[in-house]
Structure 1
Amino acid sequence: MSRLVHGLAVLALALSPVTAAGPAHGVSADPVVLPLADAVAALPLGAESRDGYTRDAFRHWNAGADPTDGCSTRGEVLIAEAVTAPTVGARCSLTGGTWYSYYDDLTVTAASGLDIDHLVPLAEAWDSGASAWNPDRREAYANDLAQATSLVAVTAGSNRSKADQDPAQWLPPAPHAACRYASEWTVTKLRWNLTADQKELDRLAKLAAGCTDILVAYTPAP
């Protein structure tokens, strides 16, 4: 299952019976499945602090799922999320292929035009609990391929517009993207047991109220 299809499955409408997509890359675990509003309510409230933050605290774009294939985490995400598969050359060079950036509803035809966004930015994760983690756990967070919604290929412009803002400050500009984004933000925080501040919770709750009949699924990080 591609990461794009997997991400959409995580946001499946509440049909009967519910089918929840499992983690990416063949990792077998039973996901937690909740209505979006209940998932938002399950987020722990916490004050945020950026004291001591540095991006270097999160080693990212490591060797990825397969250290022998020449692809970093970035390359793994690009390959997995491609709508039309690129040709993978030496040292994971990618030619051809197409991608869909759901933040701004654009199709991209060159991998160089894409950023890999941490759905919950590294600085936000630090603010929300990752400052207390050891380096190995921060590296695992920054390269999380086990749940497809943690990392997403989007246009460089939309990623840089977002920067390190939370949903109270920034939402994707594309029409109809808000429900998916709120869902993926919420499950990423739940997966990694990260807190949310009051403004963030208020915005997520308001979004969830307008995103009726949506189920979300996540697998708690090891």
Structure 2
Amino acid sequence: MKIQVKYVVVLSTLLFSLVARTQEASPGSSTQAPTAQTQAPLYQQYYTVNEAETEKVTVPTKKATFSMAADLSPEHLLQSAQVVVVNLLKWLLHDEPLSIPQEKYLRKLHFGRWINDPTDDTCMNTRARVLVRDSQVDVTYRGPRQCSVEAGKWQDPYAGQEVTEAKAIQIDHMVPLKNAYLSGAWEWDYKTRCLYANYMNFKPHLVSSGAHENMSKSDKGPEGYLPPNENFRCEYIRNWVAVKAIWHLRMNPVEVQAIYDAVKQYNCNLNSFKMSLDGLAKQREFIEANLNFCIVNKR
């Protein structure tokens, strides 16, 4: 996933007059409009998180710092450490067309299904494991084998509502599979995409959400969907960009504009958008070490 970088764009100096520019055909092609296979405008530019520009921040040593920067308030500074972080709101602008998939997106073909991990000594698939992880109480199961979750207590962060029936919960991919596919995952092999679909090493990657909100979101980016629970919107945007950074996924100009607007409108804490460089590396190391997860467990 090597990317040619044209120049750097920093959030604080962005002039977001950029609007997604589309064309009816790529250079050198016929004048016919794009086919349904592209499933996306032909953006002439795209963005990625600028990992080359880092900074040191002081964080408390008693709190985990592998994902997001911790509380930086003065009372924590007596027991603290310097951590090198990447600012998820500093982006690289790539002045070249966003690549277009060669195949029409199909969930099962390109990302597979929920996988049952035999190493956890249960018959639960990824969906069930996320439901158990996120329930605020011990779950109950359907049937004596305890493969499928029936009830529990979940807080839908999108709607800000409590849900107690598992059938009313859907597991949302923070960056939806189709969005990931169009953002670069179409270039991956199947085993990488299947791992992405079942990835539990970064908790915000998979979200227990109410069925209504998950269907409302569908495959939309922040330009088309933000949770109705406004108290969760900053965290939602942060998690969105974090997933894109971990997996080297690209962001189109309209998506970036929406992220910028949301951060400004909801006065998001900019410190929460800082991710430790070590944590980012550990996520990618885990991905590399588990690329055969779906192949080994396919049955």
Fold agreement, TM-score > 0.5: yes
Match of 2:122 in 1: 69
Partners of 1:14 and 1:215 within 8 A in 2: no
Deviations 1:30-56 (A, max 9, x none): x9744xxx3032366562645521112
Match of 2:91 in 1: 42
Alignment of 1:1-222 (within 5 A): 10=68, 13-15=71-73, 16=76, 33-34=85-86, 38-42=87-91, 47=98, 49=100, 51-52=102-103, 53-56=105-108, 57-64=110-117, 66=119, 68-88=121-141, 89-209=144-264, 210-216=267-273, 217=275, 218=280, 219-220=283-284, 221-222=287-288
Give, in whole Å, the separation in 2 of the partners of 1:32 and 1:73.
32
Deviations 1:65-87 (A, max 9, x none): 73641000000100001111213
Partners of 2:150 and 2:167 within 8 A in 1: no
- CA pair 33-100 structure 1, distance change in 2 beyond 3 A: farther
Deviations 1:151-184 (A, max 9, x none): 0000000000000000011100112111011011
Partners of 1:101 and 1:153 within 8 A in 2: yes
Deviations 1:95-124 (A, max 9, x none): 442000000001001111100001000000
Q: What's the secondary structure of 2:155's corresponding residue?
A: strand
Once the two structures are TM-superposed, the CA of residue 12 in structure 1 deviates from its matched residue by: 5.0
Deviations 1:109-143 (A, max 9, x none): 11111000010000000100100000000011000
Once the two structures are TM-superposed, the CA of residue 94 in structure 1 deviates from its matched residue by: 2.3
One-letter amino acid matched to 1:135: Y
Q: How many aligned positions are there?
A: 201
Give, in whole Å, the separation in 1 of the partners of 2:259 and 2:194.
27
Once the two structures are TM-superposed, the CA of residue 208 in structure 1 deviates from its matched residue by: 2.8
Higher relative contact order (CA 8 A, sep 6+): 1
Partners of 1:103 and 1:177 within 8 A in 2: yes
Give, in whole Å, the separation in 2 of the partners of 1:159 and 1:43.
30
Give, in whole Å, the separation in 2 of the partners of 1:91 and 1:105.
28
Once the two structures are TM-superposed, the CA of residue 194 in structure 1 deviates from its matched residue by: 0.3
Give, in whole Å, the separation in 1 of the partners of 2:226 and 2:162.
19
One-letter amino acid matched to 1:40: L
Gaps of 5+ in 2: 1-63, 289-299
- CA pair 104-163 structure 1, distance change in 2 beyond 3 A: same
Q: What's the secondary structure of 2:208's corresponding residue?
A: strand
Say which is worse superposed, 105-114 or 87-96, in terms of deviation. Answer: 87-96
**TM superposition score normalised by structure 2:** 0.60
Deviations 1:179-201 (A, max 9, x none): 01101101000010000000111
Once the two structures are TM-superposed, the CA of residue 59 in structure 1 deviates from its matched residue by: 1.2
Give, in whole Å, the separation in 2 of the partners of 1:84 and 1:98.
6
- CA pair 125-92 structure 1, distance change in 2 beyond 3 A: same
Q: What's the secondary structure of 2:119's corresponding residue?
A: coil
Q: What's the secondary structure of 2:200's corresponding residue?
A: coil
- CA pair 138-70 structure 1, distance change in 2 beyond 3 A: same
One-letter amino acid matched to 1:215: S
Give, in whole Å, the separation in 2 of the partners of 1:121 and 1:64.
22
Gaps of 5+ in 1: 1-5, 20-30
One-letter amino acid matched to 1:71: M
Partners of 1:97 and 1:109 within 8 A in 2: yes
Give, in whole Å, the separation in 2 of the partners of 1:44 and 1:73.
35
Partners of 1:115 and 1:159 within 8 A in 2: yes
Q: What's the secondary structure of 1:84's corresponding residue?
A: coil
Give, in whole Å, the separation in 2 of the partners of 1:71 and 1:43.
40
- Structure number with higher strand proportion: 2
- CA pair 122-82 structure 1, distance change in 2 beyond 3 A: same
Partners of 1:115 and 1:156 within 8 A in 2: yes
**TM superposition score normalised by structure 1:** 0.80
